[in-house]
A and B are shown apart, each in its own frame.
Chain A
Amino acid sequence: MLVYGGAVMVMFLFVIAYLGDRTDESPWSGGPSWQVVGAILAGGAILAEVIVVVGLKAGNLLSKPSHIGRSFGSPEALGRLFLTDHLLAFEITSIVLLVAAVGGVVLGAHARNLEHDARS
């Protein structure tokens, strides 16, 4: 959770710093118009499909009463699930995070080398 918060915060700062002083880049500046039309059609299709399915088809299935105890979603319960039922997902997630961290460092070092080469 902390890792995710840090990464997304860095990305938001990046976007704000990069786009802060440029207001000329509107979403539909130039570009082929069929692309814009297709994108809006596809987005509207997703939205309409979900709303129709929820409104018409799944009316009764979604009103199931749930019995939720006080400890639902507590860190203790989640941790127990992580270390028993979902142990494989937990370990794979740790490996994915490790590989991503190494990849980030390698990409950063590569970019720095390129910059050094360009300057000398």
Chain B
Amino acid sequence: MHGPDIQWYVVLSAILFTTGALGVMLRRNPLIILLSVEIMLNAANLLLIAFSRLHGREDGQVFAISVMAVAASEVVVGLGLIVAMGRRQVDLDVDKLRTLRG
């Protein structure tokens, strides 16, 4: 079974990573920023798995699963924070959230 060459995976991963980075830099809603961070993490995961297949070793897949676990815990904490902000009627805009003490 032969998939596409590794170059296409690298290019797709670069496009995904750029999308995520632009989302983090341009959008001001913390929910969208969290989604963009997920897109960047998944771009890294795609590369890990593609190179793991290129070299014929499974270590990259193990690392990708670890990255997924870390991403899941990040989503848990980030969503908890955003829900807490929403319940306090704080405006969800990262440019207006300048101080730590709410």
Chain A residues in the interface with B (C-beta under 8 A): 1, 3-4, 6-8, 10-12, 14-15, 18-19, 25, 27-28, 31, 35-36, 38-40, 42-44, 46-47, 50-51, 54-55, 62-64, 66-68, 72-73, 77-78, 81-82, 85-86, 89-90, 93, 96-97, 99-101, 103-104, 107-108, 110-112, 114-115, 118
Category for how many chain B residues contact A: 35 or more
Name the prevailing secondary structure of the A interface residues. Answer: helix
Contact among A18, A50, A63 for B11, CB-based, below 8 A: A50
B22 CB → nearest A CB, Å: 4
**A96/B70 contact (C-beta < 8 A), A15-B35, A62-B6 known:** yes
Find A82's partner among B62, B73, B84 (CB 8 Å cutoff): B62
6 closest A-B pairs by beta carbon, nearest first, are: A100-B73, A107-B80, A39-B25, A50-B14, A111-B84, A7-B75
CB < 8 Å: which of B28, B34, B54, B55 contacts A11?
Answer: B34
